[in-house]
Each structure stands twice: as structure tokens, then as C-alpha cells.
């Protein structure tokens, strides 16, 4: 009898505080597996965001810094430039990266900083209680858009991968989801590649993960998977938007 799948060594034994069914835990595990498989555990330094993943430093068994809201890429830039041998990642949600942190992410991508960004898109502000995020879908109800997002009043959702793909500095952009085992496997490949790109020195890599937020969407975990498939994927199509590191 051998163990064929268990918690990766790069994650600690601390039980996660995320709501039942939340996609954050799946992405943490995929990152832990990628770090284990690339054998870079002793070189990794992470930047935790402001948002639901603010306590991510308790879950990753590597050095972590908790950044100011949206400033993950700026902090990661500082770490990477002062310690070029370190493998640096910034873990951010959509309220963090796509609103207050928009300037930081765009300029980090434009400068092609050698960092890996994991961007969790759940179309809502999670930690603060379900307010409308820049990625909230048209018609989606949020506490600050009680009648649903109206584009004439609140504008249109922002597609980060498509937007950053216009920048020459962005070297690897992919959008994945964690709603089914198949998509989780594809997400793992993408996350591993984003870390591998940094090891190879290719440049700025970002993986956008469509993740479920059952609590703030007001549905049970199984229905939240349905929401990702039927509502989010038409607005945010999965796929590789840029891959300059490919042979």
C-alpha cells in the first residue's frame, strides 16, 4: 500500500479557514504541488494579499510577506530584484488585483518582472462581504449592486488576461478554472508552468483562476460549480492568452 495523493509538503498542517467549497484551498494545494514537484521549496518567497487569502502565510510552508491591499506585485518586485535567486509569487484576488492593485499589476507586467502571479477571480469581494468587484458579471447581484450589475451605471467587467495580453512584457497568461477534476488538472499544469517560467527566467507569468465563492454568491457549493460553468465561463473564456516561453 502506498500513498498516491496527499497534502503536499509545501503546505502546513494548519486547517484552512476558508468557507466550505471555496476554491482558494484547491489553488493552495496546486501551488504546493507545483513547488514540491519543481523542488524549489527552500527558495520560494510568497506575498499574501488583502482579502480572504490574507492568512495564506499560515498555510504555505515558505517565507511569506503580507502585502498592503493590491500592492503584491510591487512587493514581489522588490523581493525578486534584491534576491534574484528566490522564486517569488504574489497570490491575489480580484478585489485586490483588479481594482486597487490595477496599476501595480499592469506595470509589473509591462516591466516583465520575473515573478509569478496567481490571480483568483471569483467575481465578487469575498472577505468584506460580497460587494461588487471589477470582475462582477453583468446582472450579478452584489451587496453594492442589489439589483444586479448594470453596465450603464457600474460599467462592464474587466477581463484581466485579455487586457494584459496587449503588453509586450507579459510572457505567460492563462485562464483556468477549478470547478471539475479535469479543469483542476489543467489548472495544475498552468500553475506549474508559471513557476517553471520563473525558474527559467522567462519573465512575467500570470495564471487567472476562476474560483467559486458559494457564501457570497448565496448558493451551496455544488450550485456554485454550476455558476462558474454557466455564468462565468462565457464572460471569462478559459485558455492560454500568451505563452512566449513555449519552444
Partner 1 sequence: MPRIEVDANRCKACYLCVNACPKKCLGKSKTISKKGYFPAEMVHPENCIGCTMCYMVCPDVAITVIK
Binding site for partner 1 (CB under 8 A): 1-8, 11, 15-16, 18-26, 28-29, 178, 180-181, 184-185, 214, 221-222, 225
35 φψ region: left (φ > 0), alpha (ψ -120 to 50), beta (else) = alpha
Q: How far is the CB of 225 from partner 1 (least distance, A)?
A: 7
Q: Which is nearer to partner 1, 10 or 140 (CB)?
A: 10
Distance in angstroms (rounded) separating the CA atoms of residues 130 and 218: 9
Q: Which is nearer to partner 1, 149 or 188 (CB)?
A: 188
Q: How far is the CB of 66 from partner 1 (least distance, A)?
A: 21
Q: How far is the CB of 244 from partner 1 (least distance, A)?
A: 29
Q: Mind giving me the DSSP string for 73-85?
A: HHHHHHHHHH-TT
Q: Which is nearer to partner 1, 181 or 234 (CB)?
A: 181
Q: Which is nearer to partner 1, 143 or 180 (CB)?
A: 180
Q: Which is nearer to partner 1, 100 or 219 (CB)?
A: 219
Sheet-wide strand order for 63-66: 63-66, 44-48, 87-93, 116-121, 204-210, 170-177, 239-243
Residues 6+ apart with CB under 8 A from 185: none
* Contact of 161 with 173, CB cutoff 8 Å: yes
* Residue in 122, 52, 51, 49 with CA at minimum distance from that of residue 89: 49
Q: How far is the CB of 223 from partner 1 (least distance, A)?
A: 11
Q: What are phi and psi of 203, to 5 degrees?
A: 135, -160
Q: How far is the CB of 17 from partner 1 (least distance, A)?
A: 10
Q: How far is the CB of 119 from partner 1 (least distance, A)?
A: 18
DSSP letter for 90, please.
E
Q: How many residues does the chain have?
A: 247
Q: Which is nearer to partner 1, 159 or 212 (CB)?
A: 212
Amino acid at each position: 500500500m502506498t500513498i498516491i495523493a496527499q497534502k503536499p509538503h509545501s503546505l502546513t498542517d494548519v486547517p484552512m479557514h476558508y468557507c466550505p467549497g471555496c476554491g482558494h484551498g484547491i489553488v493552495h494545494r496546486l501551488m504546493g504541488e507545483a513547488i514540491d514537484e519543481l523542488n524549489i521549496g527552500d527558495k520560494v518567497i510568497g506575498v499574501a494579499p488583502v482579502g480572504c487569502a490574507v492568512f495564506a502565510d499560515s498555510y504555505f510552508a515558505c517565507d511569506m510577506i503580507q502585502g498592503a491591499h493590491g500592492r503584491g506585485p510591487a512587493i514581489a518586485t522588490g523581493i525578486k530584484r534584491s534576491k534574484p535567486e528566490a522564486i517569488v509569487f504574489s497570490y491575489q484576488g480580484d478585489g485586490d488585483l483588479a481594482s486597487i492593485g490595477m496599476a501595480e499589476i499592469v506595470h509589473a507586467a509591462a516591466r516583465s518582472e520575473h515573478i509569478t502571479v496567481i490571480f483568483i477571480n471569483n467575481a465578487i469581494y469575498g472577505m468584506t462581504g460580497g460587494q461588487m468587484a471589477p470582475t462582477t458579471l453583468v446582472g450579478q447581484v452584489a451587496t453594492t449592486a442589489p439589483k444586479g450589475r448594470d453596465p450603464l451605471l457600474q460599467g462592464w467587467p474587466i477581463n484581466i488576461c485579455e487586457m494584459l495580453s496587449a503588453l509586450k512584457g507579459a510572457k505567460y497568461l492563462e485562464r483556468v478554472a477549478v470547478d471539475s477534476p479535469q479543469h483542476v488538472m489543467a489548472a495544475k499544469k498552468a500553475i506549474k508552468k508559471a513557476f517553471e517560467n520563473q525558474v527559467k527566467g522567462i519573465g512575467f507569468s500570470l495564471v487567472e483562476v476562476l474560483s467559486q465563492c458559494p457564501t457570497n454568491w448565496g448558493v451551496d457549493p455544488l450550485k456554485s460549480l454550476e455558476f462558474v460553468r454557466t455564468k462565468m465561463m462565457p464572460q471569462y473564456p478559459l485558455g492560454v492568452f500568451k505563452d512566449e516561453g513555449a519552444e
